[in-house]
Amino acid sequence: MEYAYNAVVIGGDLIRRGKQWIARPEASYDSQLRHLPPDRYLRYALNTYRVLATRGTLGTRLYSTDPGTQTFLQTLTRQPNGQMGP
């Protein structure tokens, strides 16, 4: 299913530290995946959030509940003045 505009909230199960994504399956609300080792959970989490993020045909807003990850996401956006970052 696709929407004109979409919003995706990245929970504490997937955080960004430095140049890598870190999976924290114990923070997942999905009881079927919570028991997986972090390296295996990471593949599921990245794929799930990627699919969710591509459902907005005109735009998608990403938000993370983790402050460090939210700061990283803000560095990926272009501001009205054409500069990158917050």
Residue ranges of alpha helices (H) inside the chain are: 38-53, 67-75
Which of 16, 17, 3 is CA-nearest to residue 45? 16
What's the rounded Cα separation, in Å, for the pair 66 and 50?
18
Q: Which amino acid is at 12?
A: G
Say if residues 73 and 64 touch (Cβ distance below 8 Å). yes
- Check whether 86 has a pLDDT greater than 70: no
pLDDT in tens, 10-41: 999 999 999 999 999 999 999 999 999 999 99
